[in-house]
Amino acid sequence: MIAHLSSEQLAECILGQPSLIVARHVQDCTACRAELARFREALGEFRGAVRAWSQDQADAALSIPASLPQPRFPAASRQLAWALLMAAVCIVASFVLPWRGGEKASSDAVLLNRVDAQVSRTAPASMEPLMKLVVQE
Amino acid sequence: MVLADLGRTASADLTNMQLSATSELERAIRTDVAALAGDFEALVRFYRPKVFRFALASLRDVDAAETVTQDCFLRAYQARERFRQDCSLHTWLMQIAVNLIRDHARNRRLQFWLRASLTAKPVDGAGHTIADRGRSPEAQALLQEQVAAIWAAAGRLPEKQRTVFLLRFVEDMDLLEIAVATGMKEGTVKTHLFRALRAVRERIGETV
């Protein structure tokens, strides 16, 4: 004779594989029989609840309209938009940067001309009036 | 009195379950015969809800469950020539589903940030809806609490225990079928079930 059913013995009964002693105890013990019935009922209701809930979820998934409105910029389009934007920036930059370069180049040329003019002088600017006198002689 | 009520309810439930199980079995046999004759669509129609249900109860994410279900049938289709008929089609499909769910759960653990993605639709669960079978409001409330406790306990079980628990108590598979589906020995399945039942019973005990 055993006291009341342990968890393992209760599991044996739930799985339908009780030993002879356990089966006899369940037959004789009202409390254990009630406990077993409660547990079985809860597990049975659990099965029903999961099945009903799963069915609800499946129905809800199916009820979503097949043609969902597409987002204005789905992931692929967004990447394409970025690529186009970058290309546009590059094109604009290719026009703008040489123009700035040209401006710089022209200012360089003016500076070089001034230097050339300075270097090509035979005498410093402050002595140029004397040079005129020398030529006149 | 309560015991007599329980007995009557259990008896009526048992009769209903036996009747539905018989028609379910007949449909399963017809489907298996059609599927083995090459009608893969019949297989998908019949087993899709079962695979989806198991995936959903395991992962608790509708999008993930749908992905796993689609992958399951895709793999089954690709491997249909290799099905050796040493187990039922149901068990074979569940075997594929168990592997996919395990892989998915691992990936999800690694990429935990995905769980926060906007597309994932986590679900509250099955613990809040039980059928009204003419019980008293108190009995109905108590049972509802117990079902919610089982749902919560199942969610906290280690992966293997949860898998065998759901296969046994939601999918009604026997120990041998579960062993084939999970690739475990029958004794190992039983051990996992014992542990799962103990954890679940402890959780129920907390609610009473």
Three-class DSSP category at B173: coil
B123 CB within 8 Å of a chain A CB = yes
Q: Which positions 14-43 of A are in contact with B (Cβ < 8 Å)? A: 14-15, 30, 33-34, 37-43
Mean pLDDT value across residues B85-111: 86
Q: How confident is the model at residue B143 (pLDDT cuts 50, 70, 90)?
A: confident
Q: Please tell me the distance from the alpha carbon of residue B104 to that of residue B34, in angstroms, as a whole number.
A: 31
**Contact yes or no for A42 and B204 at CB 8 A:** yes
Lowest mean pLDDT among A44-48, B33-37, B199-203: B33-37
Are A76 and B162 in contact by the 8 Å Cβ rule? The answer is no
Same domain (yes/no): A92, A55: no
> B116 lies in which domain range?
24-123
Residue A3 has pLDDT above 90, yes or no: no
Nearest CA in chain B to A39: B201
Q: Does position B165 have pLDDT exceeding 60, yes or no?
A: yes
Q: How sure is the predictor about B153, in pLDDT bands with cuts at 50, 70 and 90?
A: very high
Same domain? B135 vs B53: no
Q: Which residues form the domain of A52? A: 1-64
ipTM field: 0.77
> Do residue B111 and residue B137 come from a single domain?
no
* pLDDT per residue as tens digits for the range B5-29: 434 444 555 455 555 666 777 777 7
Short-list B193, B99, B183, CA closest to A11: B193
Answer yes or no: pTM beyond 0.80: no
Residue B194 is predicted with a pLDDT of 93
What is the average pLDDT score of chain A?
79
Provide the domain count of chain B.
Answer: 2
Residue B56 near residue A59 (C-beta atoms within 8 A)? no
Q: Does A98 touch chain B (CB under 8 A)?
A: no
DSSP assignments along B73-128, one per residue: HHHHHHTGGG--SSS-HHHHHHHHHHHHHHHHHHHHHHTGGGGG-TT--B---STT
Q: Does B130 sit within 8 Å of A48, measured CB to CB?
A: yes
* Averaged pLDDT of chain B: 80
Within the 84-113 window of chain B, which residues sit less than 8 Å (CB to CB) from chain A? none
CB of B147 within 8 A of CB of A42? yes
Q: Is there a domain that residue A81 lies in?
A: no
**Least confident span in A66-70, A105-109, B11-15, B69-73:** A66-70
Statement to judge: residues A45 and A92 lie in one domain: no
CB spacing of A11 vs B151 below 8 angstroms: no
**How far B166 CA sits from the closest chain A CA (Å)?**
9
The total of structural domains in chain A comes to 2
**A77 falls within a domain:** no
Which CATH number fits the domain that encloses residue B56? 1.10.1740.10
Whether A1 and A59 share a structural domain: yes
Residue A14 falls within a domain, yes or no? yes
What pLDDT shows up at residue A66?
Answer: 46
